[in-house]
Structure 1
Amino acid sequence: MLALKNTLDAVFAAGAVPAEAGEFTKRAFLNGKIDLTQAESVAQIISAQGDAELKASFNALHGVLSDEINSVLSRLLDMSALMAAWVDYPDEEIPELSETELEATLKEAASKLKKLLDNYESGQTITCGVDTVIAGRPNAGKSSLMNMLSKTEKSIVTHIEGTTRDIVEDSVRLGDIVLHLKDTAGLRNSDDFVEAIGIEKAYNAIENAHLILAVFDLSQELSADDFNLIEKCSGKNAVAVINKTDLEAKMDASIIEKAFGSTVYISAKNNEGLEELSKAVYNLLGVADFDSNAPLLANLRQKQNCRRAYESICEAISGVQMGITFDAINVMIDSAADELLSLTGKKATTEVVNNIFSKFCVGK
C-alpha cells in the first residue's frame, strides 16, 4: 500500500488528476462520438438487474433511441426550413408546403413520440423495478410467500399470529422484473402497542405501493380483516394471492375473484404457483409483451423532453387545422425540435450534462 501511495503521489505531483465520475463516457459525448441518450445507457448497463433491462440498455447504446428521435427531428427541421424560406422569400420559386402534407407529417411525428411516451411506464417497470407490498391478515402466509419469492428464509414463519411486526424488505427477480418486496405485519385490530405500530406501517406501505400482493388463506373463512384488505386494494394494482391450496378449502374464493381483476392460487409451503403468479404480475403491470428491441425512453429527463416536444407538435397540428399562419406554426415546430435536440444532448445545458455524469461511477 505504501508503494502504491508513493506512486500515486508522484503521478499527481507531475500533473495528473484523478478521473471524475463518468469521465471517459463524458469525453466520448463531448467529442461527438455518442449522444446523451447513449451516454446515459452506459450507466444503465452497469446497473442492469435483468436480461430485458440489459438488452434495452445495449440497444440504446447502439443508437436505437437516438435513431428514432433523429428521424422525427430530421422531418421537423426539414419542414421548419421549408416554411421559413417560403415565408421569408415569397417571391422565390420555393416549393410550397400544402396544409395536407404538413398535417400528415406532423401527425406521423406525433405518433412516434406518443409511442415512446406510452412505452415509458412499462420500460420503467423493467429498468427500475416495482415497489411491492405483501399484505394480508395474520397467518395468511405472507412471510411464506416472501420466502418463496426470495428463495431464502427472509421472514420468520410461525403459527403464532403477529410474528411479523415490522416491515421486512428484499429485492427479488420475477423473470425480467425486479420486485422491491415489503413483507408487512398482519392486518387486524391489535391492543399490542408494538404490533399496532407495525400494522400502521403496513397500511402506509399499501397506500404507496406500485403493486400489492394481497394474501388470503384458503383454509379459513373470510374475516372482517380480509374484507378490510379487499377495500384497501380497491383501485390499485393488486393481485389476489389465495394461499394454502395444500389444505382443505373453507373460503368462498369466488368473492375474492369478483373483487380482484387478477387472482392466483398458490401453496407457499410447497412452493407451488410461482409461474402463475409471475404471469399475473406481468399482465397486470402491462409488461407481458414488453419489446426490449424497441426504442425506449430511459429516464424522467428524456420523458420530459419528449413530452414537451409531443405537446408542441400537437399544438402545431391544431394550428394547421384552424388555419393559422405558417410562421406561427413554425414557432411550435421549432419548439418541438429544441426539445428533441435537448433530449439527444445537442442543445443540453452544461448543468444538465454535469448532473447526468455526476451519477456515474468514477471513470467509466
Structure 2
Amino acid sequence: MEHSTIAAIATAPGAGGIAVVRLSGPESYAVAAKVFCPANPAKRVEEAKGYTALFGHFMEGEEAFDEGVALFFRAPHSYTGEDVVELSCHGGSAVARRLVESCIAAGAAPAAPGEYTRRAFLNGKLGLTQAEAVMDLISADGRQGAALANASLNGALAKKIGAEKDALTALQAHLTAWVDFPEEDVPALEDAQLVSTLTAVKGELDTLIRNYDAGAVLREGVDCAIVGRPNAGKSTLLNLLAGFDRAIVTPVAGTTRDVVEQAVRLGDIRLNLFDTAGLRETEDAIEAEGIRRSWKKLDEAGLILAVFDGSEPLIREDLALAQRCAGRPAIALVNKVDKPTQFDAEIIAGDFAMVLPVCCQEEGSRRVITAAVARLLGTNNIDPHAASLSGQRQLAAATRARDAVAGALDAVSGGFGLDAVSVCVDDALDALCDLTGENASENVINEVFERFCVGK
C-alpha cells in the first residue's frame, strides 16, 4: 500500500482562494503530467526539479477546466519522503473534487486518513510523537495550544524522552556488565549514584505527567458546566463570556429549561460552555428533566462554574450544589456584588478551589474569571515551548516508565539487589521506546493515524 501513489485534497472543504490537491508516491510526476499542462510548452512535468513551480492548466482528458500552479518535490526531500506534487487550483469543492477525480483516473489511489503523515513516519521523516503533533497543530485553535503542538513537531518531546533513555541506557549497561560478567573487574554501582540517576529521570517524567492535563486543556479545550439555582445569573454569565446575548435572561425562574451550549475563548483556553437549568425543586416535568440534565453536565464537566446569588441568603439548594462540587475542579462565583451582600460565602468555601465575588454584567468580571480558570487548570504555569505529552497513548507510556523507575528506586532502598533494579530499568526503557514509537506495532500505528483527516 505504501508503494502506491495517492491523491487527496489537502485543504479544508468549502469556498476559498485556492485548494490544494496533493500527490505522493513513485508515480506522482507521471500522474501530474496527465492532469497538468504547463503554460510554457518548453517545460515538461516529468523533468521538473524539486522545490520548483510551474504555472499551467488542469486537464481532464483534452478539456482544460482550471488554471493554477504545480509545486514539485523530489524524494527524499519532501514531507512524505516520496516524490510529491502539490496542485493548487481555484478554491471551491467542485473544482478540487474534479481535480482529484482526474488524478485517480490517471492512476492515483485515494489517500486514507493520515496516510501522508503515516508515510512520513514510515520513511523516517518524522518520529511517532512528531506525527501525533501534526494533528494537534491542525486542531489547535489557541496560540498556546498551537505552540505546544509546534514544540512537539520540532522534536521537543522526542529530545526530552531521548535524554531520559540515554541516562537509563548508560545505567543499564553498567548494571548488565556487573550482573552478567561477575568474573570481570566491573566496579559495582554505588547506591547513591543509582538513586541520583533514577531520581532525576523520575523527576522529569513526573513533570511531564503532572502537566499533561493542563497541556490537554490548551490543545483541546475543556467542557465547562455553569450551574446554580434559578436567577443566580448563570445565563448572564454565559452571555458575558460569549461576548453576546447567547442565552435568554429574564427574572422569571425556570426560563432556561435545557442545556444551552456555546464555545468561547477565555484567554488561552477554549471553554465549551454549558448553561444549565436552575437547580430547584419543581413539579414541572419539562423543567425537572432540564434539572436532571444539569446535574449530569456537572458530573461530566472538566470545569464547573457554580453561580450563587450574593444578594440573597444561602439556602438548602446552595448547600446541596456546594457539596456536589466538593473535590471537583470548581469555582464558586458569588454574583451581584453590585448589590448589598447577604450571602455567607464562608459556609461553602471549603467545597471549592476558589470563591470569587463577581458581577456577571460587568466586563471586569470576565478578566477575573479568566485568570482564576487559568490558575485552577494549571495553564498559567505551562511553558508553550517545552516538551509535553499529548494523548492517552503517550500518557500511558510515560506513566508506565515512571512507575518502573519508581520500582527501581524501591528495589534499591529495599536492598533487593542490582538484578531486580535491572529488570525495572528494562521495563522503563521498553515503555519509553513505546512512547517514541521505536517499539510501535502495526496496531499502535493504525490507532495513531486513524484520527487524522484525509489529505494530511
TM-score, normalised to structure 1, is: 0.92
Find the aligned partners of 2:298 and 2:98 in 1 and give their Cα distance.
55
Structure 1 residue 195 displacement after superposition = 0.5
Find the aligned partners of 1:183 and 1:260 in 2 and give their Cα distance.
19
Structure 1 residue 258 displacement after superposition = 6.2
Structure 1 residue 261 displacement after superposition = 4.2
Alignment of 1:34 onto 2:144 = no
> Relative to structure 1, is the Cα distance of residues 246 and 346 closer, same or farther in structure 2, using a 3 angstrom cutoff?
same
Alignment of 1:313 onto 2:383 = no
Q: SS where residue 288 of structure 1 aligns?
A: helix
Aligned match of 1:188:
280
* Cα RMSD for the two superposed structures: 2.3
Aligned match of 1:212:
304
Structure 1 residue 111 displacement after superposition = 1.5
One-letter amino acid of the counterpart of residue 66, structure 1: A
> Relative to structure 1, is the Cα distance of residues 138 and 69 closer, same or farther in structure 2, using a 3 angstrom cutoff?
same
Find the aligned partners of 2:374 and 2:148 in 1 and give their Cα distance.
17
Structure 1 residue 318 displacement after superposition = 1.9
Find the aligned partners of 1:35 and 1:43 in 2 and give their Cα distance.
13
Structure 1 residue 348 displacement after superposition = 0.8
Greater displacement, 240-249 / 110-119 = 240-249
Alignment of 1:352 onto 2:447 = no
Conserved? CA contact 1:29–1:36, under 8 Å: yes
Report % sequence identity. Answer: 41
> Relative to structure 1, is the Cα distance of residues 260 and 356 closer, same or farther in structure 2, using a 3 angstrom cutoff?
closer
Q: SS where residue 306 of structure 2 aligns?
A: strand
Aligned residues: 364
Alignment of 1:201 onto 2:290 = no
1:20 to 112, 127, 140: 112
Q: SS where residue 45 of structure 1 aligns?
A: helix
User: Any stretches of 5+ residues in structure 1 without a counterpart?
Assistant: none
Structure 1 residue 80 displacement after superposition = 1.9
Greater displacement, 32-41 / 84-93 = 84-93
Aligned match of 1:251:
343
2:396 to 304, 307, 321: 304
Conserved? CA contact 1:38–1:62, under 8 Å: yes
Alignment of 1:362 onto 2:448 = no
Using CA pairs under 8 Å that are at least 6 residues apart, name the structure with larger relative contact order, 1 or 2.
1
Alignment of 1:334 onto 2:413 = no
Find the aligned partners of 1:325 and 1:141 in 2 and give their Cα distance.
63
Matches within 5 A, 1:101-120: 101-120=193-212
Q: Write out per-residue CA displacement over residues 142-177 of structure 1, whole angstroms, 9 at most, x where no aligned residue.
A: 111011111122211112110000001112111111
TM-score, normalised to structure 2, is: 0.74
Conserved? CA contact 2:345–2:355, under 8 Å: no
> Relative to structure 1, is the Cα distance of residues 217 and 23 closer, same or farther in structure 2, using a 3 angstrom cutoff?
same
Find the aligned partners of 2:124 and 2:438 in 1 and give their Cα distance.
9
Aligned match of 1:235:
327
> Relative to structure 1, is the Cα distance of residues 250 and 11 closer, same or farther in structure 2, using a 3 angstrom cutoff?
closer
Conserved? CA contact 1:36–1:345, under 8 Å: yes
> Relative to structure 1, is the Cα distance of residues 120 and 11 closer, same or farther in structure 2, using a 3 angstrom cutoff?
closer
Conserved? CA contact 1:187–1:225, under 8 Å: yes
Find the aligned partners of 2:345 and 2:197 in 1 and give their Cα distance.
53
Alignment of 1:286 onto 2:355 = no
Greater displacement, 107-116 / 254-263 = 254-263
Structure 1 residue 243 displacement after superposition = 1.7
> Relative to structure 1, is the Cα distance of residues 115 and 250 closer, same or farther in structure 2, using a 3 angstrom cutoff?
closer
Alignment of 1:90 onto 2:182 = yes
Q: Which has more strand, going by share of residues?
A: 2
User: Any stretches of 5+ residues in structure 2 without a counterpart?
Assistant: 1-58, 66-94
